[in-house]
Amino acid sequence: MKKATKEKRLAKFKALNKKIRACKSCAISKQINQKVFGTGSITGRLLFIGTAPGQDEDIEGTALTGKALKKLQQTIKKAGGKSEEYCILNLLKCKPPKNREPKKKELRNCTRWLEKQIAILKPNLIVPLGSYPTGYFLNTDIGILKLQGKVRIRGRLRILTLAHLMWALKNRDQEAEEIFLESMEKAFTLTREKPDGGGSWYTYLKRRSQTQEEEEKEEEKEEGKKHKRKKGKGKKSKDKKDKRKKEKVSRKRST
């Protein structure tokens, strides 16, 4: 990435973080040590999305800490990934009390910030880490293990579902290790792929999405025109019938 582009992206990210820091849309914003914006490289084209900061993340100000971060970093290294290739964000920027599950209102309020972060980073691939991020991006309640390893397109985003990070931590058998490693290797392979014409997948899918929207609008216009023509023909036909009836009535009266 060019130095000027990187600096511009960093400036946008800092400006956005300032707005996030000032956000008081949810009551939990008054019960935290700090907002957690993310961890990793702002030039990374691979985004890992977690659910929310935990107690340690709230203290340290990073999106992932402890055993979970160590496990992720070890697997990334084995998969041939580099630190400058990825970034870790969360759906929520504030830690929910007692690490409870996020409420719908909190998700609704906070994911607008996530969407703005994504728009700045323009990722090639998003990997949700857990059921909440998977449900948010894919709008599904199907179990993660059933979706694992599959890539889906949602608007401007390519989504790859992995086994839950905590599942990989708890299941330390050989099979679980291999599944998580293979998924991570696939994630970096997909991230490094270039769309037709080069550039980022985010920009490519944005253009494609706009083209599809334009085509759909044109189709709607054509359908509207056809409907009007059909309606016009129907009206003319009705007018002719009415005219014939009137003529028929007029002839009867004259006789």
pLDDT tens-digit readout, 54-68: 999 999 999 888 888
pLDDT tens-digit readout, 92-126: 999 999 989 999 999 999 999 999 999 999 999 99
Angle formed at CA 210 by CA 201 and CA 214, multiple of 5 degrees: 155
pLDDT tens-digit readout, 225-243: 776 666 666 666 666 777 7
Question: Is the pLDDT reported for residue 171 higher than 70?
Answer: no
* Contacts of 43 by beta carbon, 8 Å cutoff, 6+ apart: 1, 6, 9, 84
The residue extents of the domains of the chain are 3-193, 200-255
- 40: tokens are 């990793």
CATH fold, domain 3-193, is Uracil-DNA Glycosylase, subunit E (3.40.470)
What is the distance between the alpha carbons of residues 58 and 151, in angstroms, rounded to a whole number?
31
